[in-house]
Structure 1
Amino acid sequence: MAGPVPPPQPLPGPPRRPLLRRLRPNPLRRRTDTVRAWLGLGVLLAVLAAAPVAAALVGDSAHRHYQDVARHQRQTRHLTDATLLHDAPRHPEPGSDEERRTRYPVEVRVVTREGRTRTTRAEVPPGLTAGSTVRIWTDSSGEASDAPLTGREVRSRAAGWALLAAIGVALAGAVAHTVTGMLLHRRNLARWDAAWAETAPRWTSPM
């Protein structure tokens, strides 16, 4: 009497070929396989070594740049009173959190540091009426502008550039490894074609 039927076994997946396994002795291994494995290992080590250095250099340079920008902004921008010349639109949801975050562009009148009166457009809270006064940042010409960069914004932007530098190094390494792999693969195909061109007549010639 037949025994119990064993449960179905999962299909074998594709063979795994870790990088270090390609460096082990193997009679079927081609020279290009060894070259590709060593190149892959070299690219990996180069990326691991270069990415932190690139991130540090780019991050430091960006930090110094944005510090200079923030310093210049603090010297050329200042808070001043602005008088609305028109009513600001009302938000459709009064009293909501969205209303407190929303700002509308409205034409306002400001007085520059030189004592000149000029008009500009500034972002103001909704619902303000003409004649209301708000505090806005203006540049040296009296044009409405953003507030100077804070220390936190300077660090955030510098960190962003540092991260982009590290990612750029990793992408460059991936591209280099892919291109060399394609070149080695083409060389294998060319050698295969040459070997087959030499062997094919022996298989197809009449006995």
Structure 2
Amino acid sequence: MAFRGPKVWLWRWRRNPLRRRADVVEAWVVFGALVLTVVAGVAAGLVAARSVERGLARERAASRPVTAHVAERVPAPVHRHGHGSSGARVWAEIRWTAADGSARTGRIRVRAGSGAGTPVTVWTDARGRLVGHPVSASEAAFRSSLIGALAGLSTAAVPFVGGLALRGRLERRRMADWDTAWARFGRRWGPMV
């Protein structure tokens, strides 16, 4: 392994009689890949985060809580020892009235042992269909941040890996040029023994 000496910043852009064209090209490739990695990653992350945030905000705005009632008594599950579990949830039929006044039915998970007519809160969309509980603003911010970070990192990986591959190719070419130069000038020097 060759001794490289101390690291000198920006040496490829400084005036130097030993600087080759390949050094300048490699410097611009590394710089361009770095800039493209940062810009693409940040832009993709912000776009993805905003998109997720808007989608979750639309979900929150479109859903509303409605009080529904259990249609019939839900039996408590019986375990081996003959005791039911008070925290268990089972599927049950429920009924509610939609915003347009029509009666609706559906199935959700309710507490085991709930009697007929037990009120439960469900979430519906503008058409009165059952939807899941909307995420809170803080949960939406967390989700959008996480998805934005993942999208940004994924997008940034493309120019980063491309820059590494191009730099590796330039380095292989430079080493091949060195081999050619050494082969040509080595014969002039003669035996070194």
TM-score class, shorter-chain normalisation, is: 0.5 to 0.7
Given candidates 79, 88, 92, the residue that maps to 2:66 is 79
Unaligned runs of 5+ in 1: 1-11, 203-207
Report what 2:77 is aligned to: 90
Q: What SS is found at the alignment partner of 1:63?
A: helix
Deviation at 1:122, TM superposition (A): 0.7
Report what 1:131 is aligned to: 116
Deviation at 1:88, TM superposition (A): 5.3
Q: Deviations over 1:130-157 (max 9, x none)?
A: 5151222233454432133432233223
Count of matched residue pairs: 176
Q: Normalization by structure 1: what TM-score? A: 0.58
Structure 1 stretches of 4+ moved >6 Å: 15-19, 24-27
d(CA) in 2 for partners of 1:107, 1:19: 74
Report what 1:67 is aligned to: 57
Partner letter of residue 122 of structure 2?
I
Deviation at 1:118, TM superposition (A): 3.4
Given candidates 133, 150, 157, the residue that maps to 1:147 is 133
Deviation at 1:171, TM superposition (A): 0.9
Cα RMSD, aligned residues only? 4.2
Report what 2:190 is aligned to: none
d(CA) in 2 for partners of 1:140, 1:33: 63
Residues 68 and 96, structure 2, Cα contact 8 Å, conserved in 1: yes
Q: What SS is found at the alignment partner of 1:90?
A: coil
Unaligned runs of 5+ in 2: 188-193
Deviation at 1:80, TM superposition (A): 1.8
Q: Deviations over 1:72-115 (max 9, x none)?
A: 23xxx3312221435255386846xxx4xx64332223333344
d(CA) in 2 for partners of 1:144, 1:150: 18
Query: Residues 57-206 of structure 1 correspond to what in structure 2 (within 5 A)?
Result: 57-73=47-63, 77-85=64-72, 87=74, 90=77, 94=85, 99=87, 103-125=89-111, 127-133=112-118, 134-185=120-171, 187-188=173-174, 195=180
d(CA) in 2 for partners of 1:90, 1:71: 37
Q: What SS is found at the alignment partner of 1:152?
A: helix
Partner letter of residue 167 of structure 1?
L
Q: Which has the higher contact order (CA 8 A, sep 6+)?
A: 2
d(CA) in 2 for partners of 1:80, 1:148: 16
Residues 109 and 117, structure 1, Cα contact 8 Å, conserved in 2: yes
Q: Structure 1 64/141 Cα, relative in aligned 2: closer, same or farther at 3 Å?
A: closer
Q: Deviations over 1:19-57 (max 9, x none)?
A: 958849797x87546533442243224434554444344
d(CA) in 2 for partners of 1:168, 1:84: 48
d(CA) in 2 for partners of 1:151, 1:38: 44
Q: Deviations over 1:171-196 (max 9, x none)?
A: 12322213313433564577589x49
Residues 19 and 40, structure 1, Cα contact 8 Å, conserved in 2: no
Identity among equivalent positions (%) equals 25
